[in-house]
Amino acid sequence: MNSERFWILVLTATAFLAGAAGGFLFAIEAFPQGSSGPFASYRDRLAERYDLPPESRRRLAQILEVYDEEIERLKARQLESFDGELVKAGEDCLSRIEGHILAPILTPDELAAFRRECGLGVPRSSSRPTPSVH
């Protein structure tokens, strides 16, 4: 092999490997792997927004897991005919999050803002926003 060809191949391989490594590192930082489980992004946003300690994060995950199981159970029983139960289950979940996770750490104004964002206390007949869970 000609000496020039060898060094061109080495330079090309080095540039390729450096680019691949840089792209990999960029992808890890730009697109972090989120946690898994039911309502993972909602749980992560709530934990980050209210700076929840680890124990509260664990309890929040448990509450949302129970809620996910309840949703799946209701889906199995024909979701359309149990819309009222689904709304009640969501309200119960939000009430548990409020009472067990957020109430001890938020001011009354912050708690009222959370209730407004989630539609707690809004009459069911009105159109109410649903918390984003994706």
- The count of residues in the chain is 134
What mean pLDDT, rounded, does the chain reach? 80
Q: How far apart are the first and last CA of the chain?
A: 57
78-109 residue pLDDT tens: 766 767 887 888 888 988 998 899 989 999 99
Band (pLDDT 50/70/90 cuts) for residue 76 is confident
**Which token pair is 107?**
């001011």
Tell which phi-psi region holds residue 51, choosing left (phi > 0), alpha (psi between -120 and 50) or beta.
left
Q: What is the pTM of this model?
A: 0.46
Q: How far is CA 73 from the centre of its chain?
A: 21
**Which token pair is 48?**
């980050």
pLDDT at 134 over 80: no
The predicted structure's pLDDT at residue 121: 61
